[in-house]
């Protein structure tokens, strides 16, 4: 958070209501709507609602659009259907697309009903793409001309104003994208020149059905501030800006980061306690099942544990080392999938590299831990048992760390979310079974 915002938040969470009001009035004057969204998201729910009511009605939609959906919902659920409709009466199709998942269906339908046909058509066009496709995140503020139009026609339109991130105009022939023209070239050409003759040599565009990673990668590498987006028939339907690419990239990583703890990327920092507890309970419940599985595995060796209590003392070490080694491999693979470095072509090489690392660290830590445990419990045999279990578990962790995320990804399940639960189950069970099994065999 910028220092400016930090100060504002500090003022809004302490102090009297009168001061807060004044502080927020100043904030409204000085901040962009997306900064106001960030600011509201950073406030506890009650305070957030108080400040929200100070936002002028004609900026409310812009602020809502930039909020993450959970925080936005905390505001929208205070509205009656009627006042929602009032709020949204001047919303554009763009806005409605962003807000739809936090609005009751009946409200969305009613707002659509009151829109003109072009807006409605646009809404339908965009929402046919899922939110994992770039078509869902289109920007409509581009300039488009027939190939046969002339420089003067384009300049006339441009002089009326262009949207941010615009360095190009798009050419179409019966709706189909055929070319891109640099606006600087327009200014430098004779006014009667036909636009087609100014087209850039290569036509870079994005398919609306592309997945987000593909599209944002293309956006980043192309060197343009925005790229045209086309449907399956190459009809020009919108554009993707570098700013949207930045937001999508951030959301992608946030979702990976949050998923490692079973959280959603939209999770509101100040979600109501009951709602937040309920969501987290699900994740705790899933993990409890794996913990019970691990306990059950241990229970199989109750008789051994009764006789050699040292095994009970040492067993968390075996599970923990496997879990840590596995999560290193898992995280490397999850990152590689997110950055686009991993594909079917290099999995085999990766697996053999990770197994190599597993062998080396397996042997190293087997020796260290075996020695330490042997000295601690004054038993060579205990040292041998734990050393073998550590080596086997670290190797199993490397194997699981590569295969689990790749299989999950192939089945379109986010490996960042479920990868670590499955991995921990594997390393716990393998760890306890080898350690207690070897202990039973060698120590009794």
Q: What minimum distance in Å lies between the beta carbon of 265 and its own copies?
A: 8
Q: What minimum distance in Å lies between the beta carbon of 260 and its own copies?
A: 6
In this structure, how many other beta carbons lie within 10 angstroms of the beta carbon of residue 236? Answer: 19
Token duo for residue 298: 């241990």
Contact 180, 228 (CB under 8 A): yes
Q: Which is nearer to its own copies, 80 or 202 (CB)?
A: 202
Q: Which is nearer to its own copies, 142 or 365 (CB)?
A: 365
Q: Which is nearer to its own copies, 88 or 230 (CB)?
A: 230
Q: What minimum distance in Å lies between the beta carbon of 230 and its own copies?
A: 16
Q: Where are the beta strands (DSSP E) in 233-292?
A: 236-241
Q: Which is nearer to its own copies, 66 or 91 (CB)?
A: 66
DSSP 38-107: HHHHTS-HHHHHHHHTTS-HHHHHHHHHHS-HHHHHHHHTTS-HHHHHHHTTT--HHHHHHHGGGS-HHH
Give the C-alpha separation, 361 to 164, whole Å.
Answer: 52
Q: What minimum distance in Å lies between the beta carbon of 29 and its own copies?
A: 12
CA atoms within 13 A on the CB side of 273: 1
Q: What minimum distance in Å lies between the beta carbon of 53 and its own copies?
A: 19
Q: Which is nearer to its own copies, 125 or 388 (CB)?
A: 388
What residues contact 52, with CB distance under 8 A and at least 6 apart?
40, 60, 75
Length of the chain: 444
Q: What minimum distance in Å lies between the beta carbon of 163 and its own copies?
A: 9
Give the C-alpha separation, 16 to 310, whole Å.
Answer: 60
Q: Which is nearer to its own copies, 121 or 352 (CB)?
A: 352
Q: What minimum distance in Å lies between the beta carbon of 263 and its own copies?
A: 6
Q: What minimum distance in Å lies between the beta carbon of 426 and its own copies?
A: 14
Q: What minimum distance in Å lies between the beta carbon of 393 and its own copies?
A: 12
Q: Which is nearer to its own copies, 233 or 344 (CB)?
A: 344
Q: Which helix H or strand E contains 145, and what residues bound it?
A: strand 144-146
Contact 75, 48 (CB under 8 A): yes
In angstroms, the Cα distances linking 423 to 99, 282, 373 are 37, 18, 26
Q: Which is nearer to its own copies, 144 or 350 (CB)?
A: 350
In this structure, how many other beta carbons lie within 10 angstroms of the beta carbon of residue 16? Answer: 8
Q: Which is nearer to its own copies, 43 or 87 (CB)?
A: 43
157: nearest Cα among 147, 169, 165, 172: 169
Give the C-alpha separation, 432 to 315, whole Å.
Answer: 7
Burial class (CB in 10 A: 0-12, 13-18, 19+), 345: exposed
């Amino acid at each position: 958070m910028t220092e400016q915002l930090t100060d504002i938040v500090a003022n809004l969470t302490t102090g009297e209501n009168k001061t807060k009001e004044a502080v927020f009035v100043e904030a409204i004057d000085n901040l962009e709507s997306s900064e106001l969204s960030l600011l509201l998201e950073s406030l506890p729910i009650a305070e957030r609602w108080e400040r929200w009511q100070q936002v002028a009605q004609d900026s409310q939609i812009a602020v809502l659009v930039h909020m993450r959906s959970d925080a936005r919902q905390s505001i929208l659920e205070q509205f009656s259907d009627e006042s929602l409709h009032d709020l949204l009466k001047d919303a554009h199709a763009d806005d409605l697309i962003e807000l739809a998942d936090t609005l009751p269906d009946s409200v969305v339908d009613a707002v659509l009903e009151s829109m003109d046909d072009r807006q409605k058509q646009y809404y339908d066009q965009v929402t046919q793409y899922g939110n994992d496709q770039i078509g869902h995140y289109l920007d409509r503020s581009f300039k488009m001309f027939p190939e046969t139009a002339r420089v003067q026609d384009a300049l006339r339109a441009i002089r009326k104003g262009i949207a941010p991130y615009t360095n190009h105009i798009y050419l179409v022939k019966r709706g189909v994208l055929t070319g891109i023209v640099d606006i600087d070239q327009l200014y430098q050409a004779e006014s009667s020149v036909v636009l087609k003759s100014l087209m850039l040599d290569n036509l870079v565009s994005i398919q609306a059905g592309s997945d987000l990673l593909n599209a944002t990668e293309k956006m980043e590498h192309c060197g343009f501030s925005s790229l045209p987006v086309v449907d399956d028939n190459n009809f020009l339907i919108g554009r993707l800006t570098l700013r949207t690419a930045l937001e999508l990239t951030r959301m992608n990583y946030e979702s990976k980061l949050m998923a490692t703890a079973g959280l959603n990327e939209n999770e509101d920092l100040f979600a109501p306690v009951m709602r937040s507890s309920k969501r987290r309970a699900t994740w705790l419940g899933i993990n409890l099942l794996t913990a019970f599985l691990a306990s059950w595995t241990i229970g199989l060796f109750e008789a051994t544990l009764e006789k050699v209590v040292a095994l009970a003392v040492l067993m968390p070490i075996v599970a923990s080392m496997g879990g840590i080694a596995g999560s290193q491999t898992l995280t490397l693979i999850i990152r590689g999938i997110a950055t686009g470095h991993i594909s079917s072509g290099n999995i085999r090489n990766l697996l053999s590299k990770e197994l190599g690392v597993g062998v080396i660290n397996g042997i190293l830590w087997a020796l260290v831990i075996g020695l330490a445990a042997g000295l601690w419990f004054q038993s060579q045999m205990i040292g041998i048992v734990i050393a073998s279990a550590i080596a086997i578990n670290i190797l199993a962790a490397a194997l699981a760390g590569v295969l689990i995320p790749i299989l999950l990804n192939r089945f379109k399940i986010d490996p960042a979310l479920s990868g670590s639960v499955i991995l921990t189950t594997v390393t716990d069970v393998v760890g306890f079974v080898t350690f207690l099994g070897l202990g039973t065999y060698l120590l009794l």
